[in-house]
Amino acid sequence: MDVLEVVRAGALTTVQDAGRAGWAHLGVGRAGALDAPARRLANRLAGNDADAAVLETTVTGCAVRPRRSVVAVVGGAACRVTVDGRPVAWGMPVHVPAGAVLDAGPAAEGLRSYLAFGGGLVPEPVLGSRSADLLSGLGPAPLRDGDEVPLGVAPGTAVPVPDAVPWPGAPAELVLPVDLGPRHTWFTERALRTLTTAVYRVSPQSNRIGLRTEGPALERARDGELPSEGMVLGAIQVPPDGWPVVFLNDHPTTGGYPVVGVVREAALSAAAQAVPGVAVRFVAVG
């Protein structure tokens, strides 16, 4: 079988596709690429189905060596891309000969780059998805130097490449539309005004489980804790320190801290590229 050999795994590189939606009733989260539009665009440029599995890197990029020649696309967070040390185009299809090293360098803007390969990546699926879930441990483990990842069959025809590709830039400010509830009544009116008017910052403690924020704490209107209840993608959970946490793809399916609101899913791809310190504004829309 044709494979990619991992030469440099980087800080955190995982296999991700569209995720395994529909299993939350069994305690299984969605996982999947945090920046879904970047995953889809990289796949289309590589000639794949939009939901084919790709590599998702974090901050430091990665380097791989394919055993067969392959068309590759590096998109998402902007970075320097080389093939055997020679600079090649970022965000466009490039030819990687068999045995050559494709290196996606550290992110110059944003956090997460996406590497798509003609034919996609085809590790064994779990519950219909090839995505790594860092919380549950389902799917392929985060990559390590020397690992091998199976490659799918290359597309039979070349993909027309446009003159310009609309890759979005990393956000200078993260604006998150929020539907309040279901537990907004657990917070004071002043806390709800604070949530929707104050400026928060992305915390360095953020990860694939949640976007953690730093800023003014949200004041409770009542004491005690909830029994564990279901959690959804985009839920804004408020732990005892009062700082909102936005649940991302690897979030737990249940939790006991109150959810003050839910960020609309379409806005979450920008959160995947928001570096620590970026301003966060929550805007009530429902």
pLDDT digits (tens, 9 = 90+) for 249-264: 999 999 999 999 999 9
- Between CA 80 and CA 19, with CA 48 as vertex, the angle to 5 degrees is 85
Residue 46, C-beta contacts closer than 8 angstroms, at least 6 positions apart = 52, 71, 72, 73, 93, 116, 117, 118, 155, 159
Q: What is the pLDDT of residues 208-223, one digit of tens each?
A: 999 999 999 999 999 8
pLDDT of res. 116: 98
**Torsion-angle region of 184 (φ positive above 0: left; ψ -120 to 50: alpha; else: beta):** alpha
pLDDT of res. 133: 98
Percent of the chain with pLDDT over 90: 92
d(CA 244, CA 260): 9
Across 62-90, average pLDDT: 98
List, in order of start, the domains of the chain with CATH numbers: 3-150 (no CATH), 173-284 (2.40.100.10)
Across 219-248, average pLDDT: 94
pLDDT of res. 156: 76
pLDDT of res. 224: 82
Q: Please report, to the nearest 10 degrees, the dihedral formed by the alpha carbons of residues 29, 34, 35, 40 taken in order.
A: -50
pLDDT of res. 30: 95
pLDDT of res. 256: 92
Q: Is the pLDDT of residue 162 over 90?
A: no
Q: What is the pLDDT of residues 27-68, one digit of tens each?
A: 999 999 999 999 999 999 999 999 999 999 999 999 999 999
d(CA 56, CA 132): 10
Confidence of residue 115 (pLDDT cuts 50, 70, 90): very high
pLDDT of res. 244: 98
Higher pLDDT, 226 or 205: 205
In this structure, which amino acid lies at residue 246?
Answer: V
Across 155-172, average pLDDT: 82
Q: Is the pLDDT of residue 146 over 90?
A: yes
Supply the mean pLDDT for the chain: 96
Q: Is the pLDDT of residue 195 over 90?
A: yes
pLDDT of res. 263: 98
Q: Is the pLDDT of residue 107 over 80?
A: yes
pLDDT of res. 278: 98
